[in-house]
């Protein structure tokens, strides 16, 4: 008989005008890994906020039982005392504090008000061993990779004597090997008796590690599936999330790759911005044909974004050398405006950090890269501008009452569409798409793929950077594999498989060590 560790009964949480959660029920057994999935806005984070006490007892209806006891959390401190620890999607580590300091932040190893640093670092090492991390506890957090930072977050939770670990999108900014590392850690912790709830958009990861899966849709529980006895196909989960059958994960496009070369990059080398003797992009040459989607796959840190950014008017790096030809003409791209005028667009991987002006309206965001299209001289034609934005709202199906709406009020998927719309508006021939579907739900992903297909069918070409191998294989005509700043392989879509590509990277990394 398995013991129920957590039971949430008929949880209803209302915000004025919106029912974020409507009679949600969920039970988590002791020692299991329980996945919670759902589209953006389905209520996953709200549910976790109820559980962890962000929304205090009384602000929702329904009951939360932990270990058989009714919870009346007034804040996060209360839930942490019971051993419920939540790790948020955005990592909450302080970059300029050391690993040890971060791990015991708010939980300091103290004696009569004085911090015992010896004990702090000793215990930090102990927990780092558990999560399989070999670092000096004195290292500053800013100096280690995101993958390792995620492990530190987990170690930090363990240091609080966690009984129920909640991970909100733990792998959203990790590459595949780091992601697997985190998931394997969860499985190992499970053997030691730690129960966890994992929220994720990545269904393959959920199938990999979850024992049971609860699906939320529009604030209600749809169903709880058992993944332990028989593995559930991803299509089955998607169907529960969107309420309809999604047979095609990647929309088909009529193949019209033309012979003409749209963009050619030759012998491109770029050095690191802060350490000018470190090569970030190393002698890269690549071609994009008209009407072609070319994938660039590589682990995080392989130099993919840096490559795209430095093609985009040297927006990254120093001492760039090499040549860029567009339609056979040698280009001199020294600034971002140069690149935009040459009809190149870079759609960033970080829409909030470097893509959108969140405090501005949809209109202002869309027209920003080419204000000259909607102005005479210095004067903006506001009516034309609005009409243009309305056009993109309709053609990209951006869900908003008005294009005057501030972008910060839109959901992630709609923000991503505004970002795409902004760059489509700039009339590019070549789009450098950096993780164009990061952090958006399955439905919005499909729409974004369709938009990309429409663009290349018009004869534009796209460089498609992604950390999801399945997405690269599903969308691209040709794939370059990058590692350590170099291109180490080129495959046609027909001949590429996940194994071939991963093997190529592993071999290359091995060669590095051998040499």
- CB neighbour list of residue 157: distance below 8 Å, 6 or more residues apart: 85, 87, 165
The span of 17-25, 245-253, 257-265, 282-290 binding another protein (CB under 8 A) equals: 17-25
* CA angle in degrees (0–180, nearest 5) for 184-185-188: 90
222 binds another protein (CB under 8 A): no
Beta strand ranges found along 309-351 (DSSP E): 318-326, 329-331, 344-347
388 binds another protein (CB under 8 A): no
Q: Which is nearer to another protein, 53 or 485 (CB)?
A: 53
Q: How far apart are CA 36 and CA 26, in angstroms?
A: 10
CB of 228 to another protein, least distance (A): 28
CB of 260 to another protein, least distance (A): 27
CB of 464 to another protein, least distance (A): 18
Q: How far apart are CA 329 and CA 332, in angstroms?
A: 10
Select the residue interacting with another protein from 375, 450, 484, 509 (CB under 8 A). 375
Site of tokens 């959390």:
73
CB of 56 to another protein, least distance (A): 7
451 binds another protein (CB under 8 A): no
440 binds another protein (CB under 8 A): yes
The span of 126-134, 260-268, 322-330, 410-418 binding another protein (CB under 8 A) equals: 410-418
For another protein (CB under 8 A), the number of binding residues is 66
What number of other Cβ atoms are within 10 A of residue 20's Cβ? 22
Select the residue interacting with another protein from 10, 59, 139, 161 (CB under 8 A). 59
Short-list 459, 31, 472, CA closest to 257: 459
Residues 415-434 that bind another protein (CB under 8 A): 415, 422
CB of 181 to another protein, least distance (A): 25
Select the residue interacting with another protein from 360, 470, 484, 509 (CB under 8 A). 360
Q: How far apart are CA 386 and CA 407, in angstroms?
A: 15
The span of 66-74, 204-212, 369-377, 472-480 binding another protein (CB under 8 A) equals: 369-377
Site of tokens 């849709």:
217
CB 397 within 8 A of CB 417: yes
Q: How far apart are CA 161 and CA 154, in angstroms?
A: 11
Burial group, residue 470, by CB count within 10 angstroms (0-12, 13-18, 19+): middle
Burial group, residue 101, by CB count within 10 angstroms (0-12, 13-18, 19+): buried
Q: Which is nearer to another protein, 316 or 480 (CB)?
A: 316
Q: How far apart are CA 394 and CA 372, in angstroms?
A: 22
Residues in the chain: 515
Select the residue interacting with another protein from 6, 35, 49, 479 (CB under 8 A). 49
CB of 165 to another protein, least distance (A): 19
348 binds another protein (CB under 8 A): yes
Q: Which is nearer to another protein, 383 or 499 (CB)?
A: 383
The span of 100-108, 118-126, 220-228, 333-341 binding another protein (CB under 8 A) equals: 333-341
356 binds another protein (CB under 8 A): yes
Q: How far apart are CA 300 and CA 302, in angstroms?
A: 5
CB 335 within 8 A of CB 271: no
Q: How far apart are CA 389 and CA 366, in angstroms?
A: 7
Residues that bind another protein (CB under 8 A): 15-18, 20, 40-42, 44-46, 49, 54-56, 59, 89, 312, 315, 335-337, 339-340, 346, 348, 353-361, 364, 368-372, 375, 378-380, 382-383, 386-387, 390, 401-406, 408-413, 415, 422, 439-440
């Amino acid at each position: 008989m398995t013991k129920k560790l957590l039971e949430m009964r008929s949880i209803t949480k209302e915000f004025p005008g919106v029912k974020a959660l409507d009679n949600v029920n969920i039970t988590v057994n002791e020692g299991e890994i329980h996945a919670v999935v759902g589209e953006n806005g389905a209520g996953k984070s709200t549910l976790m906020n109820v559980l962890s006490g962000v929304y205090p007892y009384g602000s929702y209806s329904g009951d939360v039982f932990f270990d058989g006891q009714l919870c009346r959390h007034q804040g996060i401190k209360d839930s942490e005392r019971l051993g419920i620890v939540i790790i948020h999607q955005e990592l909450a580590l302080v970059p300029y504090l050391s690993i040890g300091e971060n791990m015991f932040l708010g939980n300091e190893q103290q004696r009569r008000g004085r911090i015992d640093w010896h004990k702090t670092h000793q215990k930090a090492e102990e927990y780092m061993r558990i999560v399989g991390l070999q670092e000096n506890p004195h290292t500053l957090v800013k100096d280690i990779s995101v993958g390792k930072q995620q492990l530190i977050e987990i170690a930090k939770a363990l240091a609080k004597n966690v009984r129920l670990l909640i991970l909100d999108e733990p792998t959203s900014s990790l590459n595949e090997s780091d992601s697997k590392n985190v998931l394997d850690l969860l499985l190992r912790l499970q053997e030691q008796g730690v129960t966890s709830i994992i929220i994720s958009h990545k269904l393959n990861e959920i199938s990999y590690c979850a024992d049971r899966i609860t699906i939320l849709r529009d604030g209600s529980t749809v169903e709880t599936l058992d993944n332990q006895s028989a593995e559930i196909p991803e299509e089955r989960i998607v169907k529960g999330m969107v309420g309809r059958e999604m047979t095609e994960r990647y929309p088909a496009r009529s193949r019209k790759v033309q012979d003409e070369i749209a963009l050619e990059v030759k012998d491109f080398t770029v050095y690191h911005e802060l350490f000018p003797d470190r090569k970030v992009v190393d002698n890269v040459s690549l071609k994009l044909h008209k009407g072609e989607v070319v994938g660039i796959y590589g682990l995080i840190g392989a130099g993919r974004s840096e490559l795209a950014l430095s093609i985009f008017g040297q927006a990254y790096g120093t001492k760039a050398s090499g040549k860029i030809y567009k339609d056979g003409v040698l280009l001199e791209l020294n600034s971002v405006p140069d690149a935009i005028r040459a009809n190149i667009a870079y759609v960033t991987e970080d829409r909030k950090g470097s893509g959108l002006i969140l405090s501005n309206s949809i209109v202002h965001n869309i027209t920003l890269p080419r204000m000259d299209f909607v102005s005479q001289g210095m004067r903006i034609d506001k009516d034309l501008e609005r009409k243009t934005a309305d056009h993109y709202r309709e053609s990209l199906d951006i869900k908003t009452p008005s294009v005057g709406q501030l972008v910060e009020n839109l959901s992630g998927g709609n923000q991503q569409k505004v970002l795409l719309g902004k760059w489509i508006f700039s009339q590019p021939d070549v789009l450098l798409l950096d993780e164009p579907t990061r952090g958006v739900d399955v439905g919005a992903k499909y729409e974004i793929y369709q938009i990309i297909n429409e663009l290349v069918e018009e004869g534009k070409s796209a460089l498609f950077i992604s950390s999801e191998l399945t997405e690269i294989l599903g969308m691209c005509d040709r794939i370059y594999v990058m590692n350590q700043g170099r291109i180490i392989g080129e495959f046609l879509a027909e001949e590429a498989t996940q194994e071939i590509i991963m093997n190529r990277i592993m071999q290359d990394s091995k060669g590095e060590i051998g040499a």
